[in-house]
Amino acid sequence: MKNINTIGLDIEKSAELISSLNKLLSSYQIQYMNARGFHWNIKGTDFFELHAKFEEVYNDLLLKVDEIAERILTIEGVPLHAFSDYIEISDIQEAKDISDGKAALQNLLAGFTQIIISQREILERAGDAGDEGTAALMSDYISQQEKLVWMLRAYLN
């Protein structure tokens, strides 16, 4: 029982999941700030529609940031909490000075595509570790975001 943590998961496999979840947390934080910036800076004929949509997106991202951090804590890790760490390990780049709706939506689409890819990898790793809690979280996120990606693509076309 030495290699098992207090919720019954292998300590080594949990450490790998914690690392992956911290990278995902970093990507979520950058995606959140990008969506926040789009919300603040959007201009043009679709202002009202996109301003509201970006707010919906960043509010959802913020909820998921908290859930991911709490999952890291649940599997006995420490969530990253410094933006310097987020910027360093995120799979998503900061978006600066974007006020065009199409450019903002393309940026969000690219970010969510990367997040879904990362979550699929974590889902597989969680399954291998017998970590049903992390697997369920990733599965829920993937199904929600696949729909969002479809809607973003449809709006852009």
What pLDDT, in 10s, does the model give residues 58-103?
A: 999 999 999 999 999 999 999 999 999 999 999 999 999 999 999 9
32 vs 13: CA distance, rounded Å: 28
Mean pLDDT of 40-45: 97
Domains, the chain, in order of start with CATH, read 11-156 (1.20.1260.10)
Instruction: Give the three-class secondary structure for 9.
Output: coil
pLDDT of residue 2: 78
pTM above 0.85, yes or no: yes
Cα–Cα distance list, 6 to 1, 39, 102, 136 (Å): 10, 42, 47, 19
27 vs 84: CA distance, rounded Å: 12
Q: What is the DSSP letter of 90?
A: -
**Residue 69 backbone class (left: φ over 0; alpha: ψ -120 to 50; beta: rest):** alpha
**Tokens encoding 53:** 């949509």
pLDDT of residue 39: 98
94 vs 147: CA distance, rounded Å: 23
Question: What does the buried/exposed string (b/e) look like for 17-37 if buried means 16 or more CB atoms within 10 Å of the residue's CB?
Answer: bbebbbbbbbbbbbbbbbbbb
Q: What is the DSSP letter of 44?
A: S
pLDDT of residue 80: 98
